Structure 1
Amino acid sequence: MLRSTRMWGIFTRNTSVNVIKRASASSNERRSSVRPSERVHQEPLRLYSESVTLSPPRWTESNKTRSDASVSDRVNEEDSSDVFGDYSRSFSSRRTFRKTSSELLDMRYRDDEEDRPVVQKFRSKTGRKNTAYWYFLQCKKLIKEDKLGEALVLFETDMLKGERLQAEEYNYTVLIGGCGRVGYLKKAFQLYNKMKKRGIEPSDATYTALFNACAESPWKQSGLDQAIKLKQELLRKNIPLSAITWQALLKSVALAGDLKSCFQILREMLQNGHPITQETFHYLLISCANDKQHGFRLALQVWQQMLRIGIKPDTQNYTILLRIARDCGIGNPGLASALLLKRTEKVTPKLTSGRKSRQTNVKVGTLCQPLDMDAFENELFVDTHTQSHGQAEESDFTPLNTSQDDTQVLPVLSSASLTCQSQLPTQSSHLPNLLDPSTCSSGVVALGPVDSASDRLALIGNLDGFLEKMAEDGLEPNLKTITLLADVMEPGSQSMQSLINVATKSGVKLDVTFFNTIIRRVAKAGDLHGAKAVKALMVDRGLAANTQTFCSIALACRRQKDAIQLFTDMESCGLVPNAHVYSALISQACKRLDYAYLHELLLHMTKLQVPPNDVIIRQLEYAAQYPPSYDKLKSRNIYLDKIDGFRGFYRKWLEFMPGQEPPHPWAKYRSPKPETDQDGVTSQNQVSE
């Protein structure tokens, strides 16, 4: 046993000597290759590493006696000593272990702590740990104050990242609802997807808010596509929709202008047992408003069908009908006469569609007739249906006998005559009102020319007949109704006075928007003095003119001196012209080919540093082009002699005049994106979308 131990000690001693020699040789080689200036900096580091890596010595009596010897004596003893462990003890005792103090450690790690980023602990705004319901109330409050961006930051930064709370269904639903009201479609579905990833079950309110976001999106086609995808997802998961959610889906399809898809949604609502209400026809009328050519005829058909099934219109329905009368046409007059001039005794004609009609009874109040969806749809789309079968003759749709001697054409007031408006109360008493089919007599077989908004208003009773129908339904006009009436009536002092009397009788307080509408109607007719007279009347009633007021007056400023006077009046009111005011003035200058007028307007824009928008650029590009049929080598036009000079000035003006970029509709609701440093490090105090 002793022999084996001694032999193992000799093996250890020889091995240690060889290791020490090789380490010394390599160390000498490194020292010889290192410059003297670098050796000074490397030596302390090497000593410190050795003192750390070597194990502490075993303190024996022999070590105590050898500790006082010099380094040269220890090296000589290494060659002659045969004692077990002498080499390891000698090698380990070459370096001493130095103890350090807390002050030295503090100095050692002080630089590292200063370079390390300071992570501040999140502090709640209330000073205590809040709950998910508290954040729900705060987000709801911010959304009501039109601070959707702050509500999103509060939810994503403070609640989820700061306090690390578990979000509930109502936290996501209130934010999706806020995004839906402003049309923030992308963020609404981002929240919905995060909601599903967290395993939170959406509610009916969540789906309603998502469909509402699709409806209010600035890009209608994108909103319609997203609504269809969401509907397919719900059908695939067999999730039933409530009546309110179906109405939101119908709204998203109606605002996209797809009337045929509205009927498909309407059929599915009836199949699921959901009732048809005033809101349903409200969305059908909105869908009709997107058809600028036939919208007024479609809206009247929807209106008459609403009356047939016993649903009374509300104020919102009347308001939408006025907007359609202002913006949409009636289409083919012969087809419109055949479909609209029908007495109530006659049953709605069912056009052959190649399949059996299905009748659906709608349980809403007292019904006059059941709702036949097939007949209703075929009657609305009768023009496309007949064209597809090659039967587009107008005589096929005339429901009355035109060979009678007492037949007459329904007169429509001329839009160019202002004297007819004063005779309106005496004429409208016996004229039929298309809002009430019972007033259409058998002698009226066709409609007169319907070209303007005032002509379409005459078909629904003009001012008196329209208000009488509202009174029969127990409704009174509001401010929006009176403002739209001002936009469709013939411009004139009598029309304005009639509307003021109606507002006084109904207790409606008129605002600046009402007078601006009248000013725009008068200015479009070219009456600059009349527009200024309405502005003076508005000021006398204690209302201050705004930029929109002068923008409406600018539509009548056909000469350069009129524009200069307009700028002077705006300056006296403390207002600065914007791009809309200049656009109205440029349109008048372009119509008269007054290039001196255009030159002065561009100089004035440069002086006030008003950047042009895309509408102004299109107007100026049109003004800078020669007419297609103009050849200055063959003929001479005194109005086009100055076009070359304007073209040169316009090109130079574009070089130093900055353009106006339209703001993104979602820009004010987005959270700031994270800032990236040069090293690629993302700042922690920024929140990305």
Structure 2
Amino acid sequence: MSKMLRSAFQRGVLTRNSGVNVLKCAASFSSLRRSAFCPSERVQQKNLRFFSESATLRAPKWTESSSSISNAFDHVPEENKGDSFGDYSRKFSSKRIFRKASAEQRDLKYRNPEEEDDEDQKPVEKFKSRTGRRNTPYWYFLQCKRLIKEDKLAEALVMFEAEMLKGERLQPEEFNYTVLIGGCGRVGYLKKAFQLYNNMKKRSIEPSDATYTALFNACAESPWKQSGLEQALKLKQELLKKNIALSAITQHALLKTVALAGDLQSCFQLLREMLQNGQPITQETFQYLLISCVNDKQHGFRLALQVWHQMLNIGIKPDAQNYNILLRAARDCGIGDPNLASAILLKRPEDEANPKITSGRKSRRAKVKAETSCQHLDIDAFENELFVDTQTQRLGLTKESELKEKDQSIKDASQDETQMLPVSSSGSLTCQSELSAHSSSLPNLLEPRTCHSSVVALGSVNSASDRLALIGNLEGFLEKMAKDGQKPNIKTITLLADVMEAGSQSVQSLIDVAKRSHVKLDVPFFNTVIKRVAKAGDLDGAKAVKALMVDRGLVANAQTFCSIALACRREEDAMQLFTDMEACGIVPNAHIYSALISQGLKRLDYAYLHELLKHMHKMQVPPNEVIIRQLEFASQYPPSYDKLKSQNVYLDRIDGFRGFYKEWLEFMPGQETPHPWAKYQSPKPESNQDGVKQVSE
């Protein structure tokens, strides 16, 4: 019986009838077992003796039950046949590997046949990299670095965001973000640089010193200096809260940001922090201090000379970049109060006032140690000397001037002939010497120890050539560079051309200097010389320099003609300029028209302005903001002008110009100033862009 039950359960086809028969057999089997152990019960259940020969199961009943089982199985619907227990294991028993289906496969599985015939339905394509294989983050780092060197920052950003992150879904590393932040920093793309930095923090990637240096450099190169300074100070406070110490390179990047913003006092605060942290003071440090001085247009040249003297006092030799920045200060900045500048710059150093007496010769090792070691920088004294109180200083100057007058009267009484001799034509230096120009020695303020007894005071310093005379003119400046072991480069010679007086002798002397220094002159150098000559009003001289440039094998560009336009004061000169540009194949732009309009505006020549506007309309050159501002000023009456009281030949024509100007504004399109970051911004992502397909699941 147990064998029959076991076979019935293995087949798994128990129906209602077969189940009843099996249960009856099981009940009789259990009762027989009880009767075998209990004799009293065996007598009462004689008909159910299972182990006797007479009590055997009938075969027909069992065959009927089995047939009923088969008949019952035949009546089971076909839908329920597949849902039997254990059937699914047969299908998947041989499968050992399970692979995740892609989005493309799921889309193809559930796609309708009607949609496949539709022509508008595009097949879903898988992302393909440029190399046809799966790349690494370091490969993308090298590609982005190459694109940034080729000035293709927008393509580098698209490659990183669209291909690396969205296409291949790679996990970026720190160097991937750092190279892009550095590229954004070089062009001043401040917004994108900090956006990458924030994404870097969201991915829990720890920035390095190079990352922070690139961020501060982005703040420094931003078109909006004050906004960049605020962002840099916020980043500095964030690093202080995290107890992250800035390296010397990162500290210089922060110093560059503050210097370009023109905050000289904050520069000294950072300089004090560098000294407290034990970071070295180098030539680069004084470069940024000089840049901060250049931003002060009124006293910048005097401040730059003070910084220069302090750099020499602590034993740091300037490099070519320091000399170039000093020339920028001489070109763009003034000296401030001459009396204050005389008291500060012509002050005798303490070492010369109280010379130290030494006996014997120094050893060679002591000389080398003295040359290489730098003296300690007293930052507090340096700051107090640089930001001197003008009122207290002026009080001291009045006393000193009185004492000098008394001394001079005593010298006159003793029959010592003295005279105030101007060195340059504008009187930038007044020396107490003989009248002979050959015997007079000019002091050079680049040397802090050249305060001769013959120097009384500084005269009026109005032009850039006067400020160049204070630092030794061309010969003295180049001699000082040679002493420091520096040679002038093309940038140095170009700045000297912008500082020296305009004339043929200056141009020839600069050409000789370039020849001795083996420097090849380029187009920007000649454009600077032409601009300098044209500002002096010498149109023929500007054209002569242009001819000299062409003779040397250089080609004139739009900037060349823009510089010549500064000397075109008549209408005939402007028309001739347009003819020369057409012969060279150069189309006039808004900058050239702005230079010509400025010349016509100075003379109030409204006929000249009228012809320029007509020529702009003919060439279809849209005006920019500068031109609109110039024309608005030209169309306004002077505040003190009254037609009834007085007549002016030039101002009588303003009415006709005003009417033509209003009509000209209606049919001339305006030129919108492009955003500085427009060319670096990537376009908005679409459904199909840069090989990336958006799949809708």
TM-score, scaled relative to structure 1: 0.77
* Inter-CA distance 139–169: structure 2 relative to 1 (3 Å threshold): same
* Inter-CA distance 196–440: structure 2 relative to 1 (3 Å threshold): same
Deviations 1:106-137 (A, max 9, x none): 99542388576754211010011000000000
Deviations 1:542-598 (A, max 9, x none): 111111111111101000000000000000001111001000100000011110100
Residues 1:372 and 2:383 aligned together = no
Match of 2:290 among 282, 285, 298: 285
SS for the counterpart of 1:439 is coil
Deviations 1:386-432 (A, max 9, x none): 55x79766436879955433676573423599xxxxxxx96696011
Residues 1:481 and 2:492 aligned together = yes
* Inter-CA distance 426–410: structure 2 relative to 1 (3 Å threshold): closer
Max radius of gyration: which structure?
2
Deviation at 1:464, TM superposition (A): 0.3
SS for the counterpart of 1:437 is coil
The answer for the alignment partner of 2:315 in structure 1 is 310
Residues 1:404 and 2:415 aligned together = no
Of the structure 1 ranges 127-136 and 662-671, higher mean CA displacement relative to structure 2 is found in: 662-671
Unaligned ranges ≥5, structure 2: 1-15, 17-71, 79-108, 355-368, 412-417, 429-435
Q: How does 1:600-639 map to 2 (within 5 A)?
A: 600-639=611-650
The answer for the alignment partner of 1:128 in structure 2 is 133
Residues 1:546 and 2:549 aligned together = no
Instruction: Look up the equivalent residue of 1:395 and give its one-letter code.
Output: T
* Inter-CA distance 167–598: structure 2 relative to 1 (3 Å threshold): same
Q: How does 1:220-369 map to 2 (within 5 A)?
A: 220-345=225-350, 366-367=372-373, 369=375
The answer for the alignment partner of 1:395 in structure 2 is 398
Q: Does the Cα contact within 8 Å between 1:259 and 1:284 map onto a contact in 2? A: yes
Deviation at 1:228, TM superposition (A): 0.3
Deviations 1:511-565 (A, max 9, x none): 1111111111111111111111111111111111111111111101000000000
Deviation at 1:636, TM superposition (A): 0.4
Instruction: Look up the equivalent residue of 1:110 and give its one-letter code.
Output: E
Distance 1:194 1:283 in 2: 31
The answer for the alignment partner of 1:472 in structure 2 is 483
Distance 1:312 1:519 in 2: 34
Q: Does the Cα contact within 8 Å between 1:338 and 1:397 map onto a contact in 2? A: no
Distance 1:574 1:416 in 2: 46
Distance 2:373 2:117 in 1: 81
Deviations 1:470-511 (A, max 9, x none): 000011110000000000000001011100000000000111
Instruction: Look up the equivalent residue of 1:541 and give its one-letter code.
Output: R
Distance 1:106 1:130 in 2: 32
* Inter-CA distance 62–545: structure 2 relative to 1 (3 Å threshold): closer
Deviations 1:328-379 (A, max 9, x none): 0000100000000022345899xxxxxxxxxxxxx99645743111111011
Residues 1:641 and 2:652 aligned together = yes
Residues 1:503 and 2:507 aligned together = no
Higher relative contact order (CA 8 A, sep 6+): 2
Instruction: Look up the equivalent residue of 1:374 and give its one-letter code.
Output: D
* Inter-CA distance 348–287: structure 2 relative to 1 (3 Å threshold): farther
Match of 1:154 among 140, 150, 159: 159
Q: Does the Cα contact within 8 Å between 1:310 and 1:365 map onto a contact in 2? A: yes
* Inter-CA distance 629–675: structure 2 relative to 1 (3 Å threshold): farther
Distance 1:159 1:107 in 2: 30
Match of 1:143 among 137, 148, 153: 148
SS for the counterpart of 2:456 is strand
Q: How does 1:404-483 map to 2 (within 5 A)?
A: 404-405=407-408, 411-414=422-425, 430-483=441-494
Deviation at 1:195, TM superposition (A): 0.5
Q: Does the Cα contact within 8 Å between 2:340 and 2:390 map onto a contact in 1? A: no
Q: How does 1:9-24 map to 2 (within 5 A)?
A: none
* Inter-CA distance 121–310: structure 2 relative to 1 (3 Å threshold): same
SS for the counterpart of 1:445 is strand
* Inter-CA distance 198–409: structure 2 relative to 1 (3 Å threshold): farther
SS for the counterpart of 1:284 is helix
The answer for the alignment partner of 1:381 in structure 2 is 387
Distance 1:182 1:62 in 2: 80
Match of 1:211 among 206, 216, 238: 216
The answer for the alignment partner of 1:27 in structure 2 is none
The answer for the alignment partner of 1:589 in structure 2 is 600
Q: Does the Cα contact within 8 Å between 1:527 and 1:556 map onto a contact in 2? A: yes
Instruction: Look up the equivalent residue of 1:492 and give its one-letter code.
Output: G
Distance 2:584 2:76 in 1: 107
Match of 1:110 among 104, 108, 114: 114
Q: Does the Cα contact within 8 Å between 2:427 and 2:461 map onto a contact in 1? A: no
Instruction: Look up the equivalent residue of 1:589 and give its one-letter code.
Output: G
Distance 2:648 2:441 in 1: 53
* Inter-CA distance 371–123: structure 2 relative to 1 (3 Å threshold): same
Unaligned ranges ≥5, structure 1: 3-57, 65-104, 350-362, 418-424, 678-682
Match of 1:670 among 675, 681, 685: 681
Deviations 1:186-240 (A, max 9, x none): 1111111100110101001111111111111110001100110011111110001
Instruction: Look up the equivalent residue of 1:620 and give its one-letter code.
Output: L
The answer for the alignment partner of 1:352 in structure 2 is none
Q: Does the Cα contact within 8 Å between 1:428 and 1:462 map onto a contact in 2? A: no
Q: Does the Cα contact within 8 Å between 1:338 and 1:399 map onto a contact in 2? A: no
Deviation at 1:269, TM superposition (A): 0.5
Distance 1:163 1:510 in 2: 49
Residues 1:557 and 2:561 aligned together = no
Distance 1:408 1:246 in 2: 51
Distance 1:397 1:174 in 2: 58
Distance 2:685 2:151 in 1: 24
Distance 1:491 1:107 in 2: 80
Deviations 1:72-120 (A, max 9, x none): xxxxxxxxxxxxxxxxxxxxxxxxxxxxxxxxx9995423885767542
The answer for the alignment partner of 1:170 in structure 2 is 175
The answer for the alignment partner of 2:544 in structure 1 is 533
Instruction: Look up the equivalent residue of 1:172 and give its one-letter code.
Output: Y
Distance 2:441 2:396 in 1: 31
Q: Does the Cα contact within 8 Å between 1:408 and 1:445 map onto a contact in 2? A: no
**Identity over aligned pairs, percent:** 75
* Inter-CA distance 532–491: structure 2 relative to 1 (3 Å threshold): same
Q: How does 1:643-658 map to 2 (within 5 A)?
A: 643-658=654-669
Of the structure 1 ranges 541-550 and 272-281, higher mean CA displacement relative to structure 2 is found in: 541-550
Superposition CA RMSD, Å: 3.0
Distance 2:301 2:439 in 1: 20
TM-score, scaled relative to structure 2: 0.76
